[in-house]
Each structure stands twice: as structure tokens, then as C-alpha cells.
Structure 1
Amino acid sequence: MSSSGGDALSDANDGCVGPTSADAGKASACAGCPNQSACSSGAFSSPAAIVAKEEERAVLRTSLSDVSHVILVLSGKGGVGKSTVSTQVAQALSSRGFSVGLLDVDICGPSVPRMAGVVGRTVHQSQRGWEPVYANPNLAVMSISFLLEEGDAAVVWRGPRKNGLIKQFLTETDWGDGGLDYLIVDTPPGTSDEHISIVQYLNDARPMMMSDDGNKSGASGAIVVTTPEEVSMADVRKELNFCKKTSVPVLGIVENMSGLQMRVSDLSFFRERIINGSETVPFDCTDDALSLLREKCPEVLSMIAAADVFPPSGGGPRGMAEKFNVPYLGKLPLDPNLLKACEDGVSFVEKYPSSPAASPLNAIVDKIILALPVEDEDGEQHGLMQE
């Protein structure tokens, strides 16, 4: 994708001048591009094509006119917790009184419905478009999962069909009369067609916001999720470069699964037992260990036990944020209650407010609200946690 933003095709070369440019198909950047023949033929710059494009932009602008902020949740790596962050940030924002939409554009692997507690629900078509599913009165959810007859059905689609569905989500979803304060978009791994398309659609749909580097984007910003090890960060650096190329401002990096944290009272304890003379097997002695702690040093039970699960590399995600000159939003530890909240489809910060990851997650949400404030009728900013 090039700096030409919404005019560039999804599979265009870097430096694309745009299919409607007078130099389309002729510029040096066009060499080897799969669209060169079509661009040089004028297929995208004909009066009919230009009118069709403007009509598409008008529909997009109308559909998202009542959305204050659109936040993309990105990561070049799969399995780092994008959907966890997307869902729980959306849940936390909605619990603070904001009107929130959660859009799942991971077409082949939609996991948001389970994490939002709306598995098995369906969307309905009205005169105003698709009615999303509501996880709570302030949180509307849209996903391909609601359109499938079977929850385990495989979605085997090529890029154009995926892109068409994403456009339908953006143009045909009725987010309600009052609109949205925040639309959180959960994306698939990588920097593929879905990412390029949604950035282009947002550029067409929304007032272009000026970023710190002077570029403009229709997306309000991106949350980039990573785990601490180099295998993950190597892919996430590509995602940060994608944001730079497409002028999407980065709200910050979330270091997910930064380490395991649990209260000692929630731990399980094991002794090794030798059987058959040589084989060592674990023996659960949790009840005995907790009884001993309650008797001898009960203050230990309320302490947090921590362990690094993924080996941090170099300066870790914080160092990566400094290198790319983007904010570091903070660490989210591995917390069994956070995983349970996602499995049960509930708001983690409401259900487990004293769990180890609750305070870090609330702090991340505070930073998002400060970066993208929503004012009430009196011009006052709200939704921040009180000290």
C-alpha cells in the first residue's frame, strides 16, 4: 500500500500513484504491479468509475458519521491476544458508560462472539441494515459468526469476498440511534487484504485525522498487541511499519502475557512421589499447603506470585515502543481470571476487580480515553477511573 491512501488498490506496489491518476499504469512504481494493465486502460478513471467510487464513499461516510472514534487492534502475530484485548477493552469502555461497537473482521477465525458472551446469537435485517448483537446495553457486536448456519463452519474465501464483507459490515450495520463513542475493530494476524481494505474504507468514510508525523488517516488510531519474546516482536515490528506506511496513528503497544501473576491462595501445590521404584509423578497437596500457610504465615496467601513465561528479548516491547517512537500502554500479565472472563464472555474488570490484571487493564483503558476523549453534553471528559 502506498501513501496515496484510499485511491491505491489493495495489492498495489509501494509508491502507487493511484488508479485515477493521469500517470496510472505509466509511473515507475507501476512496473510489475498486477493492476498495471487495468490502470493504464483507464478502467478506474472513467467517468462511470469515478461516479461509482464517489457513491461508495458517500455511503461509507453516512454509515460511520455517528462514530466518534474507530480503533484498530493489530498485531503481525497470531495468538498474542488481540481478541482478548479487543473484547476486554470494549467491555471496560462500555462499563464506564460509553457507547461501544465491537467489529470482528477476522473472517476465518472469529473469536469475539465467545469472548463477548454472545455465541449462538444471530443478526437481523431491518430497513436500516443489520442489527448487531448486544452483549450489554452499551456494547454492540458484529461478526461473521452471526451469519453462519453452523458455528464450526470453515470460511474458505479469497481476498475480494472478505473485503466485500468488511465493506458490508461498515456500510450496513445499524449501530443505533445515538451512534458510537468507540468502534473497536478486532483484526486477523498479519498485514493482509483485510487490513489494507479497512484502512482504505475508513479513509473514504471519515474525516482524515492529522497524525504526529503530518500524515492523515480515517482511523482514530491502532492498539498494537505483542508478547515479550522476539518471535512475536519480529512480526509486530512489521505491523508498526504497516501503520507508518498507511499513516494509521499508533495509540500504543500493549505487552500481553508479560508474565504469570496469581494470588498465592489461588495456586495449586504438588509434591513429587516415586512409584514403581523410579517413576516420579506429581501428587496434589494443595489443601495441605494452604492449611499450613493459613496456620504459619497467613499474610502470604494474599501475596501475588509471579513468573516469566515468555523470555523477554532485548528491551522488550517497551524498548520497541521507544525505537518506533510510539506510546507504551503497559503490561497485561497472564491472569487465569482474565482467561476465564473471556471464556465466560463477561467483563473482566467488573467480574474480577481485584485480580492481578484488572488494574493494568484499567490503566490501559484510561490511556485510550485520554488519547481519544469523548466529551459529554457539558463539554466535560468522562470515563476515567478515579484514584
Structure 2
Amino acid sequence: MDATDVKFGLPALERDGQRWTTVRGDLRFSTHFQPIYSLSHRRAVGHEALLRAQDGAGNPVSPLQVLASAAALGELLEVDRVCRWLHANNFASQRRGDHWLFVNVHPAVFARGPQRGTRAFFNHLSEETGLKPSDIVLEVTEEAIGEDERFGQAVALARELGCLLALDDFGAGHSNFDRVWNIRPEIVKLDRSVVRRAAQEPRVARVVAQMVSLLHECGALVVCEGIETLDEGYLALESDVDFVQGYLFGRPAPDLCDIEGPLDPLEAVWQRFDEQHVRAERCYQERLAPYLHALGNAAGWVATGRSVEEACRPFLALPAAELCYLLDERGLQVGHNVTSARFEGQLGARFAPLADARQARWAKRPYFRRALENFGRVQVTRPYLTVHGARLCVTASVSLRCRGQVLVLGGDISWEGE
């Protein structure tokens, strides 16, 4: 290793056993790596490089302190590149197979670096370490986006070089999807706070699953950071997250983990999924069975000419049934809602403007479309927010034919507490 890289002001790298370290001022820098696992591949697909610093007495110094000591942009740029240089060399010296190196980039350095030699630095790093730009994932935090007019140029340069971009800490603070659309990252890392709360609150867990789905539609793979418990690992898997990172799967260490073969905690997460899926599906079917049976019977009676009120009376007598309604083949509501006594007592003034649904059109609702696509077979939706109040419900629906006309009978079932 060259004593010093004069062109970029990079200090000498020194051997400490099998790993590289470097000294800057009175601090010694070294690298720790934390593995990132693919849930589907059941193996590590990358490592995040983390800075470790010690003062002359061997006391640890936090990375935040290291960055805070760099007052001017030029000094910050130097510290940032020294860290990436060190991490890249440590990664390259023990790399095995196709594997990503995730490196954090300071927002100011990312935005202003293109005017200060970013392209030349990456070319030099690739030549010296043998790493391709496509091996490197640049992690940038949300607050960097849009706060500097040069950010767009930096994103364009990173793409031109061939690096992947990861949006870090998504969900912390004032997150919004506008930032995802602006940067179009290949990877989004969900903040630890999102995972922790979702593992404790089923309602939040459902929102996280939808968030992951939307991020996928935006073209991004999703990492759950900070996974520490089996419950959090299971939440990530259940939410269709692509990658996981956290103490449950591996603590930061100087050496890369073994990227081959399954990991015990990962296998435990999959075992929990297998057990929970079977149990949850059984409970789900058992809970819904009387409602689906009652709605199917009601559809048969409506088809013979009985009124919705009379046909749906057994359905509405069930404990979680809320209301029934009839739609024509265009999704237009025929008549008014028929409500259960329990639900009638819960209706308040806050949503009164939505109470009268006569001639409302529900053609875009999944329960309507699925009922038409599966004629005569009772369908059921995922939990969703009912327009009759700020709470969750599921809708059972079934298509029928009455006097030559195709109709859809729907029944809403409260899903609170699930």
C-alpha cells in the first residue's frame, strides 16, 4: 500500500493483523462491517461499513464526533473520503463472491463532491481496490434531498459511475415519498423506529406492509434496519421486506461474515413464518366462516326476490357484522345500507355526510371487481379503512342474478383489534 495518496490527500494504510487501519490527526480509524441478509436468498448479500475511531489512549470516539470535528467543507470531504478509502480496502481484502459494500456518505459531501473530484476519486478507488462501482451502495439520508440544488447532479453522477443509491433512515422524522420519487433509489432502508413500533402495534404493521409495497412500486428494494428480536424479524418477512440488518443477524465486526449458507436466526424467522402462517390462516378462516356462509345464503335469498333487509338478517345478527348493501353491475348502489343494531348504535355525527350511500358508485372497490370475476363465489378483502368511520373492516361480497340482472351483495365486517 502506498504510504500516502498525494492526489487525494489519503493517509497511509497500516496493517493491524489482517486488517487495514489509518491515522488522522490523533485518531486511529478502523472498519467494522455489519451484514445485510436477503430474506429470500437466506444468505448475506452485502455489508455496511461502519467507522470505528480511537484516540491516543485507546478510548473510543464516536463517528459523529469525528465528523463534527471537521468544520470546513474541504476537511469534511477529506474525512469522508478517508473513511471510504479505508472501508473499500478492508472490504476488498476479504471479499468473497458477488457482494455489495454499503458506505455512508455525508450529505454535504454527496451534494458538493462532483465539483471536487468525485469522479476521479471513484476511478482511483476502483483501480486500487479492484471494486467496481456496481459493487458499492452509497447511503444518503433523507434530509440531504432537495436541500442543495446540486443534489440532482450528484445523483446523476452516481448513476453514471454505476453505483447503487440507498435512501437511509426512511420513516424517521418527516419522511415522504416525494423524496423517493426525486432520487429513485435502488434501495430504501427503513429506520429502526418504524420497525420497533410496527412489531408492537398491528395497525402500524399493516401500514408498514403497504409502505413496502409502495416502495416496491417505486422501483426500490427495501431493507429493515435495526432488527434485534425474532418478532421484528418476523415482521420484516411478513411485510415482504427484501433485506434485513441488525443485531439479531450479526453485530458489527472487523471481519465479513460467512456469506454462504443459512444463518440460525434467519432460519428461526422462517420457522416462525411457517408456524404463524398456518395458525393465522386457520384462525382467519374460522373467524370468517360464519359470515361468508351467512352472506352466501343471503345472496341466494335475494336472487329469489327477497328484500336485502330480510335476506341479510342472519348475517347482521353476527357479532362483528356492520352493514349490507346491494350494487348493480356498474357498481351503483341499489337502495340504502342495511345496518346491524350494534353498528347503528356506533354511528356518530362525525361521518354523517357519508352515511347516505344511495346511488354511490363502488365500481373501483376490490370487493366489487372480485365478486364479478368469481361469479357466485363469496369473496373477502384485506382489512381497509371503512368510509363509515376511522376504523378497519373487511368486506365479503358475492355476485348473483336476480330477474335477469347481475347484482353484487356486500357485507362489511368489523376488523378492529386484529
Structures share a fold, TM > 0.5?
no
TM-score (norm 1): 0.34
TM-score (norm 2): 0.32
Which of the pair has more CA radius of gyration? 2
> Which structure is richer in relative contact order (CA contacts within 8 A, separation 6 or more)?
1
